[in-house]
Amino acid sequence: MITINDTALNDNQLIFVLRITLDSSTLRYATTGITLSSNTYSDSVLLRIDFSTLKSISKNINIYNGGGVGSLSFMEFSLSNYSGKYIENFYPSTSQDYLTARKVEVGFLWVGATTEAEITWLNSYYVNGVSVETNKITCFCIELSDIETIDLPYYKVQKDFDNGVSYFTTAPKENYGKTIPILYGDFTTSLTEQVKFNFKYCPGLLINVTKFGGIFCSHKVHTTSSGVVPTFDYALYRYISSVDSYQIMYKADNSIINNEARHVVYLTTSVVRPASTNALGFIPIRLGVHTKNSDILDLSNVTDQDYNTYLELNGGEQIALSTEGYASIEELGYIAVGADNVSIAFVMSSTTTDARDYRITYRNEALASPAGAYTDDSTLASATAGTYLFSLNDKTTAKKDATLPWTIDEVCSLEYILLNQEVTDIIRVYAANIQIKSYITARSLTAIRNNDGLRNYG
């Protein structure tokens, strides 16, 4: 039921008002010019056809059979080309605001009103489509109701008409015609060691293969995460099926579009190239397959990524593991020479706050004379799970050609060992992975053009 906010005074004239919300301004129109709460509602723009400014507003509910289910309300209106140039304030005029997907409110009051509080709002809509002619712009609107209705995805990626939502000219050809997602729920979270494998990301579509841009919904995202990668505000994530993990992609000059029409993230404002200043990738690859040098064969409490469970490594015992899959340069890009570009990571703790001595080792069993390298003997002294790293970035021992950097293939072929150097004391092991930083290249992007796993934090 609608409650009237104003009372007709001595049969005063009825005025219909219309309000459109843009990114940085609000447009106000009326059938009769009026100023309310210091805001002017212009009567020069709403186009009159057959003495009518607004066409009929339709809505129906079948009370007898519908069970409270009804159709959405539809409405259309036209903005005249006032003074011969008013419609130049909107797209398709250069660098002007889009009307598509904007919120529209329709209401009424009577002559004599002085405040916006006296407006009785009939309904809220969003602009679903726009028709542009030389003398007018017509907006076709659908009821906006976040509580009572959930709109299914409507827009599809296309390159035929720039509607400000779904128009992209550099998308991979297989993505044209795909539906742009809608987001519902909370995708924000802290990027911890465990979350890297929990896949709490919202899906997207690749729409720019040179700057690596993804569209994630055809509406505004009201909360976006920043700082998920140190020193970078936004990042993209892509699923690498061969190792069942997500690669985090980031760059210093990334950019974002977040408005009522769409949420788009560009990894870079320049073309992706294999250079140190270009796009970077980070991926943790699980170590989940036991190898011949392992004293323990049941690794279920290490591979489950559940930090409430752990494997107990007794004094003198070791676990030896390899990756669960094999990635490639085509998928991940090139590993560069530099600090911590390849690291062995074990998540572990002591049973008490007493110190525990351990050693992290890697070995290459594929050599004619298998060999490896290890850390200096290290110590942990916490009953809380933490990540302990051993970097391969400057190690050439057991490398086939003894030349840096390591390749993706080599890293996925090594055996990784954690040794408990205590005599009797226990070390708890929660998870293990290899962490790889690499340069993203245009070649490596082709591996995900089908977009099975482009993701972003919402």
Q: Are residues 427 and 446 in the same domain?
A: no
Choice between 87 and 195, residue whose per-residue pLDDT is larger = 87
Per residue in 106-147, pLDDT tens?
999 999 899 999 999 988 888 888 988 888 889 988 887 654
Please tell me whether residues 287 and 426 are part of one structural domain.
yes
Is 5 part of a structural domain of the chain? no
Asked whether residue 203 falls in the same domain as residue 349, the answer is no
Rounded CA-CA distance 210/266 in Å is 10
Assigned domain for 301 exists: yes
Residue from 211, 270, 239, 195 nearest 332 by CA: 239
pLDDT at residue 19 in the model? 95
If asked whether residues 302 and 335 sit together in one domain, one would say yes
255 and 287 together in one domain: no
Is 229 contained in some domain? yes
Q: Give me the CATH number covering residue 323.
A: 2.60.120
What's the mean per-residue pLDDT of the chain?
79
Q: Is residue 212 one of the residues assigned to a domain?
A: yes
Do 240 and 321 sit in the same domain of this protein?
no
| Residues 202/396, Cβ–Cβ less than 8 Å | no
Of 151-155, 186-190, 231-235, 423-427, the range with the highest mean pLDDT is 423-427
Give a yes or no: residue 167 inside a domain.
no
Q: Are 359 and 377 in contact (CB under 8 A)?
A: yes
Instruction: Say if residue 288 is in the same domain as residue 414.
Output: yes
Q: Are 420 and 319 in contact (CB under 8 A)?
A: no
* Interatomic CA distance for residues 457 and 221, integer angstroms: 10
Domain boundary among 143, 165, 189: 143
Q: Which of 20-24, 304-308, 312-316, 365-369 has the highest mean pLDDT?
A: 312-316
The number of domains in the chain is 3
Claim to verify: residue 263 and residue 288 sit in the same structural domain = no
Task: Report d(CA 119, CA 109) in Å as an integer.
Answer: 5
User: Lowest-pLDDT range, 17-31, 54-68, 264-278, 388-402?
Assistant: 54-68
The reply to whether the predicted model has a pTM over 0.75 is no
pLDDT tens sequence across 215-258: 888 888 776 554 444 444 566 777 788 888 888 777 767 777 88
Q: How far separated are the first and last CA of the chain, in Å rounded? A: 35
Q: Please say which residue of 143, 161, 188 terminates a domain.
A: 143
**Which residue in this structure is represented by tokens 């676990």?**
319
* 275 pLDDT above the threshold of 90: no
Is there a contact between 120 and 4 (Cβ–Cβ < 8 Å)?
A: yes
Provide the pLDDT for residue 105: 93
Tell how far CA 77 is from the center of its chain.
34
> In the listed set 123, 143, 163, which residue is the last one of a domain according to the structure?
143
- Whether 286 and 404 map to the same domain: the answer is yes
Looking at the structure, do residues 446 and 433 belong to the same domain, yes or no? no
Whether 290 is in a domain gets the answer: yes
Task: Report if residue 253 sits inside a domain.
Answer: yes
157 falls within a domain: no
44 and 87, same domain (yes or no)? yes
pLDDT tier for residue 4 given thresholds of 50, 70 and 90: confident
- pLDDT confidence of 70, banded at 50, 70, 90? low
Report which of residues 295 and 205 the model is more confident about.
295
Question: pLDDT higher for 392 or 12?
Answer: 392
- Domain membership of residue 395 as a residue range: 282-439
Query: CB neighbours (10 Å) of residue 308?
Result: 8
Q: Same domain, yes or no, for 390 and 289?
A: yes
Query: Of the spans 45-54, 217-226, 322-331, 368-377, which averages the highest pLDDT?
Result: 322-331
